[in-house]
Amino acid sequence: MSELQFTIDGKDCKAKSGQTIVEAARENGIYIPTLCNFQGMKPAGTCRICTVKVAGRYQAACTTPAAPGMIVESNTPEIEDMRKAIVEMLFVEGNHMCPTCEKSGNCELQALGYRYTMLAPRFPYLWPVREVDAHAPKIYLDRNRCVQCLRCVRGIVTGDGKHVFALSQRGNKVGIDIDAQLAAGLSEDQAKKAMDQCPVGAILRKEIGFAVPIGRRKYDGKPIGSEV
């Protein structure tokens, strides 16, 4: 693979051809926030938090390949404020009761809220009515917390390639649907993977939980992005 050069906020960066801006940024020690993105999965571009500006146009850095000579603006006050707005939108369009959530401290949405010092969101809460689905034997699906990142849709498929999770409805009614029958056939590992890949607390493994106490979880000590 050939190497190419480009810049992010004026800093020279190297990328392999075909690499997305998000991937290349990490390798060059630059943090671009992401939420729906997950290493090893085809990027979906649903959350748009990684939006950057390239040649005057806004683009999602997770779906845009780095190109030779590209000039990327990322950490500007304007873009950072719009990213914060996305975090706030995700909070108000769902029902996020962090203190009672099993994922608190490990939740990427919550961690982004901290990183962007979100106090009260600028938007009014929409209080949608969302259903909880506990039909599947191993998995508990709480749509109140779902951010529609589609990691479960992309990542959890049966041996013969069937989707266990899929989107249903459209617009503000979209939600993740679980095929309870297929979910019943998930192995222990797959069920755990479904929970671990969910950035929030929408997909939980039934019958286990709170093994690590709140306060000692991944983002309780240091903010998201500090590993970069």
Partner 1 sequence: MGTNITAVVTGVVDAYKKDRSRLLDIVRDVQAQLGCVNDEAAAQIAASMNVSRVDVDGVVTFYHFFSKTPVGKYSVYLNNSVTAQMNGRAAVAKSFTDLAGCQFGQTTADGLIGLFDTSCIGMNDQEPAALINGVVFTRLNADKVKSIVGDMKAGKKVEDMVRDHGDGANQSALVKSMVNNNIQRKGPVIFAPFESGKALKAAVAKSPDDVIEELKVSNIRGRGGAGFPTGMKWEFCRKAQGAKHYVVCNADEGEPGTFKDRVILTEAPALLFEGMAIGGYAVGASEGVLYLRAEYMYLRKYLEDVLDGLRKKSVLGANAGGKSGFNFDIKIQMGAGAYICGEESALIESAEGKRGEPRNRPPFPVQNGYMGYPTTVNNVETYCAAARIVLEGGKWFKSMGTAQSAGTKLVSVSGDCRKPGVYEIEFGTTVQTLLELVDGRTARAVQVGGPSGTCVGKKDFGRRICYDDLATGGSIIIIGPNRDLLEVVHNFMEFFVEESCGWCAPCRAGNQLLLHKLEKIMHGHGTEGDLKELESWCKIVKSMSRCGLGQTSPNPIATTLQNFREVYEAKIRKGADYDTEFDLLASVQESCRVAGRIPNIHEEH
Name the site residues for partner 1 (rule: CB under 8 A).
43-48, 51, 58, 60, 63, 65, 82, 85-86, 89-90, 92-93, 122-124, 126, 147-148, 158, 160, 162-174, 177-179, 181-182
What is d(CA 145, CA 202) in angstroms, rounded to the nearest whole number?
A: 5
Which H or E element spans position 176?
Answer: strand 175-178
Residue whose CB is less far from partner 1, 30 or 52? 52
Residue whose CB is less far from partner 1, 166 or 208? 166
Which H or E element spans position 89?
Answer: helix 77-93
Q: Residue 3 CB, nearest distance to partner 1 (Å)?
A: 20
Q: Residue 63 CB, nearest distance to partner 1 (Å)?
A: 4
Residue whose CB is less far from partner 1, 89 or 118? 89
Query: Which residues, in sequence order, are CB contacts of 57 under 8 Å at separation 6+?
Result: none
Q: Residue 141 CB, nearest distance to partner 1 (Å)?
A: 11
Q: Residue 132 CB, nearest distance to partner 1 (Å)?
A: 17
Residue whose CB is less far from partner 1, 114 or 123? 123
What is d(CA 157, CA 44) in angstroms, rounded to the nearest whole number?
A: 16
Burial class for 133, CB neighbours closer than 10 Å (0-12, 13-18, 19+): middle
Task: Classify 156 as helix, strand or coil.
Answer: coil
What is the β-pairing status of strands 175-178 and 165-168?
antiparallel
Residue whose CB is less far from partner 1, 13 or 36? 36
Q: Residue 81 CB, nearest distance to partner 1 (Å)?
A: 8
